[in-house]
């Protein structure tokens, strides 16, 4: 593999191992269909190498490689992963070698031992035999596959134990014509200074393009990967996983590494225009893995460009770069303004603009809203996750909130039946204009029963209500010392299939708090459905 052009010199090859190393994370379990969906998405965004798994190691990977034999991707190369040959077997007779070649992948990546400790205590062979295993395996695969990558497992720990021998393992792979040699911090315990010192010495002795593969056990996987690329021109490949999934503390997170390399160091990792899809990719992978992307995750998390303090909001509304290290749009994320007791007047003005309300010249309304927020948060309300309730508060304050219905009363009864089933029954009495409506419904719990009853009462007047679904319901006890008399906060998340919103209720009575959040959710949803209908 040659890197003669200027473009090649600037290119960093991204090797994704989410499907293999990432799936070894304790909470990660991916079906064959899940993996196919991820492969398609990785190809769309322009990941160079997609490591799929171990051929013939389990029925799932076996099935996946069979499917992939009939597919070719427009950008990504499919990688089969395995180990070097067994210590007492010729490469051409080793079943692992055969399985790797039979997989039909574009690239084969094998790992070998870079540490004398592992050679002696784990695979229990001689140091010389380990070198032969590496050379014979890479050489045999290279004769039968156009591209072979060698992962030097436990290399950094091995180097610290016996630097001369660790280098010899790399030279064995180089002599066998490996296309890349990847240095692995498999235990994840190295610090950036160690990584830089060792990889610098390696680069002086190895001519093959290098890669870096870091685990995150000391919290340095991303920093170690970026530093290796920044300081050494011979490091051309970074291996990692989306969202940092992986065994123990995880792998280096490509969703942090790729933006840092592209935006901070000017290195090309993805095809032009693809970086803006990195947030969508992170969240898509999280959905498939059924693991929420941490809100605080750099670049792609929900809070990565979220501002809460009033001074920050005031500043970012004038000069975004004064409070943001990159523009959220460059990575496909969005700026969020949160409202809380820490908010200043500017926060309210900026947030109101998001839903089309101009308050710049309404100082009295802004002061009133700010005082309301501070008083309500003192009672236990929290508007950071309740944007729907905040919007309704603003529109009510300035007199533009629509009253779709007026509550007269509601009642909830709970019944435990002889068969052990617990059922709730709710009755709501409301007015729509001058018409009094009474409806009763059963549900699996009091909130579910209330939701069913209010929907029965409203559906004949507002058919768009059927689009609104409750997607999450959270209860927080605000003062545990008060026991059953404690104030509780209820947060409800809702969606109409296009837009998501949060609403809040606070009360000593959990049913009352739930009703507040439920009522806001329905009003907010109806208000936006009506607006969208008018806009069309």
Cα(443)–Cα(424) distance, integer angstroms? 5
Buried b (16+ CB within 10 A) or exposed e, 408-439: eebebeeeeeeeeeeebbbbbbbebeeeebeb
Q: How many CA atoms lie within 13 A of 386 on its CB side?
A: 29
Q: Model confidence at 2, in pLDDT bands (50, 70, 90)?
A: very low
Are 472 and 496 a contacting pair, CB within 8 Å?
no
Cα(132)–Cα(153) distance, integer angstroms? 16
Are 189 and 249 a contacting pair, CB within 8 Å?
no
Residue with tokens 């975004």: 320
Q: Model confidence at 3, in pLDDT bands (50, 70, 90)?
A: very low
pTM to 2 decimal places = 0.71
- pLDDT (0 to 100) of residue 313: 59
Decide: helix, strand or coil at residue 392: helix
Cα(498)–Cα(287) distance, integer angstroms? 17
Residue 151's alpha-carbon distances to 30, 51, 131, 184, in angstroms, are 24, 12, 14, 7
- pLDDT (0 to 100) of residue 131: 96
Decide: helix, strand or coil at residue 341: coil
pLDDT in tens, 152-165: 999 999 999 999 99
Q: For all residues of the chain together, what is the average pLDDT?
A: 89
pLDDT in tens, 198-207: 999 999 999 9
Q: Per-residue pLDDT for 1 more than 80?
A: no
Q: Per-residue pLDDT for 232 more than 60?
A: yes
- pLDDT (0 to 100) of residue 369: 84
Are 436 and 461 a contacting pair, CB within 8 Å?
no
pLDDT in tens, 343-399: 567 778 888 888 888 888 888 888 888 888 877 877 778 776 788 998 898 898 888
* Of residues 171 and 316, more confidently modeled: 171
Question: Dihedral angle at the C-alpha atoms of 40, 332, 15, 245, nearest 10 degrees?
Answer: -90
Give the lowest-confidence range in 7-21, 150-164, 167-181, 351-365: 351-365
Q: Per-residue pLDDT for 309 more than 80?
A: no
* Of residues 149 and 116, more confidently modeled: 149
What is the DSSP secondary-structure string of 467-516? G-EEEEEEEEES-GGGGGG--EEEEEEEE-SS-EEEEEEEESSHHHHHHH
- pLDDT (0 to 100) of residue 343: 57
Are 214 and 185 a contacting pair, CB within 8 Å?
yes
Q: Per-residue pLDDT for 441 more than 70?
A: yes
Q: How many CA atoms lie within 13 A of 397 on its CB side?
A: 23
- pLDDT (0 to 100) of residue 202: 97
Copy the structure tokens of residue 312.
């920050």
CA-based end-to-end distance of the chain: 55
Neighbours of 360 (CB within 10 A): 12
What single-letter DSSP state applies at residue 179? S
Cα(23)–Cα(1) distance, integer angstroms? 29
Are 155 and 124 a contacting pair, CB within 8 Å?
no
Name residues whose C-beta falls within 8 Å of residue 322's C-beta, 6 or more positions apart in sequence.
315, 316
- pLDDT (0 to 100) of residue 440: 96
Instruction: Choose among 431, 413, 430: nearest CA to 422.
Output: 413
Are 123 and 86 a contacting pair, CB within 8 Å?
no
pLDDT in tens, 105-124: 999 999 999 998 999 899 99
Copy the structure tokens of residue 374.
């501070």
Cα(115)–Cα(187) distance, integer angstroms? 12
pLDDT in tens, 78-98: 999 999 999 889 999 999 999
Domains, in order of start, for the chain: 10-289 (3.20.20.70), 306-397 (no CATH), 405-461 (3.30.160)
Are 391 and 508 a contacting pair, CB within 8 Å?
no
Q: Which residues pair with 488 in a beta bridge?
A: 477, 507
Are 528 and 388 a contacting pair, CB within 8 Å?
no
Give the lowest-confidence range in 98-112, 447-461, 462-476, 506-520: 462-476
Residue 218's alpha-carbon distances to 153, 187, 191, 478, in angstroms, are 17, 9, 7, 35
* Mean pLDDT, rounded, for 276-304: 89
Instruction: Choose among 203, 191, 108: nearest CA to 146.
Output: 108
Helical segments of 218-344, H only: 221-231, 254-259, 278-289, 310-318
Neighbours of 472 (CB within 10 A): 12
């Amino acid at each position: 593999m040659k890197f003669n052009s200027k473009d090649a010199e600037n290119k960093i090859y991204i090797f994704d191992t989410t499907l293999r190393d990432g799936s070894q994370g304790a909470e990660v379990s991916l079906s064959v269909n899940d993996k196919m969906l991820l492969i398609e998405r990785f190809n769309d965004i322009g990941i160079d190498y997609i490591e799929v798994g171990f051929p013939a190691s389990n029925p799932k990977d076996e099935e996946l490689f069979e499917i992939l034999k009939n597919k070719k991707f427009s950008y990504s190369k499919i990688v089969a992963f395995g180990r070097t040959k067994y210590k007492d077997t010729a490469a051409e007779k080793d079943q692992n070698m055969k399985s790797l070649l039979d997989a039909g992948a574009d690239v084969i990546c094998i790992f070998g031992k870079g540490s004398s400790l592992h050679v002696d205590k784990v695979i229990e062979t001689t140091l010389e035999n380990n070198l032969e295993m590496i050379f014979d395996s890479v050489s045999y695969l290279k004769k039968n596959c156009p591209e072979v990558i060698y992962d030097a497992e436990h290399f950094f720990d091995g180097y610290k134990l016996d630097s001369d021998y660790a280098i010899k393992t790399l030279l064995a792979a180089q002599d066998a014509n490996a296309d890349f040699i990847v240095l692995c911090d498999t235990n994840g315990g190295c610090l950036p200074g160690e990584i830089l010192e060792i990889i610098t010495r390696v680069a002086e002795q190895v001519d093959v393009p290098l890669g870096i593969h870091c685990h995150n056990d000391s919290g340095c996987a991303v920093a170690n990967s970026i530093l290796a690329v920044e300081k050494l021109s011979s490091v051309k490949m970074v291996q990692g996983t989306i969202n940092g999934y992986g065994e123990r503390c995880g792998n280096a997170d490509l969703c942090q590494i790729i933006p840092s390399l592209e935006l901070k160091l000017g290195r090309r990792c993805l095809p032009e225009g693809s970086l803006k899809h990195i947030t969508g990719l992170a969240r898509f992978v999280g959905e498939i893995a059924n693991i929420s992307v941490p809100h605080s995750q750099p670049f792609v998390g929900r809070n990565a460009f979220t501002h809460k303090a009033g001074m920050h909001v005031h500043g970012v509304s004038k000069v975004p770069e004064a409070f943001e290290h990159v523009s959220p749009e460059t990575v496909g994320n969005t700026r969020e303004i949160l409202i809380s007791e820490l908010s200043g007047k500017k926060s309210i003005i900026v947030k109101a603009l998001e839903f089309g309300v101009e308050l710049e010249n309404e100082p009295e309304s802004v002061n009133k809203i700010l005082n309301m927020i501070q008083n309500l948060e003192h009672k236990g309300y929290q508007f950071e996750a309740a944007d729907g309730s905040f919007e309704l508060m603003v529109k009510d304050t300035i007199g533009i909130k629509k009253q779709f219905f007026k509550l007269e009363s509601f009642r909830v009864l709970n019944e435990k039946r002889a068969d052990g089933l617990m059922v709730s029954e709710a009755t709501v009495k409301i007015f729509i204009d001058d018409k009094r409506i009474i409806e009763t419904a059963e549900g699996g719990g009091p909130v579910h029963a209330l939701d069913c009853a209010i929907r029965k009462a409203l559906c004949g007047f507002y058919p768009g209500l059927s689009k609104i679904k409750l997607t999450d319901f959270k209860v927080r006890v605000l003062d545990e010392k008060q026991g059953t008399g404690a104030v509780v906060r209820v947060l409800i998340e809702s969606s109409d299939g296009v837009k998501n919103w949060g609403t809040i209720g606070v009360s000593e009575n959990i049913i009352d708090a739930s009703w507040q959040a439920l009522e806001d959710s329905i009003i907010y949803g109806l208000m936006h459905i009506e607006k969208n209908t008018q806009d069309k």
